[in-house]
Amino acid sequence: MKKLDLVFQEIDKHLETLKYEKNKLLSLGVDNLSEADLLDYETIILLDAFIFRFIKLQSAIGEKLFPLFYEILTGRSYTEVAFIDILNTLEKYNFIPSSNYWNKVRKLRNEFIHIYPWETQLKIEAVQKAIKEIENIEKIYQKIKSFIDERKL
């Protein structure tokens, strides 16, 4: 399970950094950021770092952890099924609230990728949504990690 251990290390690092950036954003008053605040380079750098980590976290969980965990749960190769089947299996075993929930998180990730630099209000709104999702994403991750740790897989 060396591959799984490496995925856990990656996710742990993303979460640790993301929570640090989240706390910095909250101390700046991210709920009240305006487009004028995005003229400050420190704020821009912090927002960009947060966005980068959120994208990396969502990708690591969705593209790496979920498929590997699907194999553990089912004994079947993730390459034999569509991603929606992986999500439906995780939902069936209550590791994610619903496949729709994870698709919503994925959609938020995609919003970040497609926001242009001049779409500052969209960027602020997407960051605010992402901040609210970090705790839920971490709960999903911890539930999967605990399941594996308890069974010493």
Q: For residue range 102-147, what is the model confidence (pLDDT) as tens digits?
A: 999 999 999 999 888 778 888 888 999 999 999 999 999 999 999 9
**Residue 101, both tokens:** 């929930």
**Residue 57, both tokens:** 């976290």
CB 133 within 8 A of CB 105: yes
Distance CA 102, CA 137 (A): 9
> Whole-structure pTM over 0.85, yes or no?
yes
CA 103 to chain centre: 11
* 119 φ, ψ (degrees, to nearest 5): -90, 60
